[in-house]
Amino acid sequence: MTNKKQCMAAKVDENVVAMVIGSMPGEVSLAKQEYYGHPKNLFWKFVEEVFPDIAFNNPYSSRVQGLINHHIGLWDVLQVCERAGSLDSAIKNAMPNDFSVLSVQAPKLKKLLFNGRKAYDSFMKSLNKAWAEEKGISCVLMPSTSPANASIPQAEKLRKWRQELLNL
């Protein structure tokens, strides 16, 4: 059994102004081919709190389209990596995605919301940091919505996510 993981395609269109950026989807998300597919991940619950038209129980494709309708896309910093399990701390031999493709796919992009420290740090250590600076794209570290992140109270995480998602 290989521990090599491959990210999913970006969920984006030409009107996206912000993107939520993870590190690499966990095992459940990869198996389902759904960003934030683990039922205990708070991401889609937070999205519903901020945008009531995107219900947590809606089909995945409907939730993604709802985000796109609000000009928010989804992607990951890492294109491939090795990892046993789902924890970011287990990621090894990672290769980042080339974010310069977003210059064409999302020409209005102005903000990247990094879902957790690993995503943020991986981006900042890559050549993508220079691309974001050149394009004037702000990079915001967000509290991870992962069930593994219990150090910040849920209400505080939601407050931060609401603030950034509504301030596009």
Catalytic sites, residue numbers: 41
| Separation between Cα atoms, residue 114 and residue 116, nearest integer Å | 6
Q: CA-to-CA distance for 73 and 42, rounded, in angstroms? A: 17
CA distance 84 to 35: 18
Tracing tokens 């966990």 back to the chain, one arrives at 26
DSSP letters, 78-115, are: EEEEE-SSS-GGG-EEEEE--GGGHHHH-TT--EEEEE
According to DSSP, the β-strands at 138-142 and 111-115 are parallel
Alpha carbon distance 58, 60 (integer Å): 6
Residue 84, CA atoms < 13 Å, CB-side half-sphere? 1
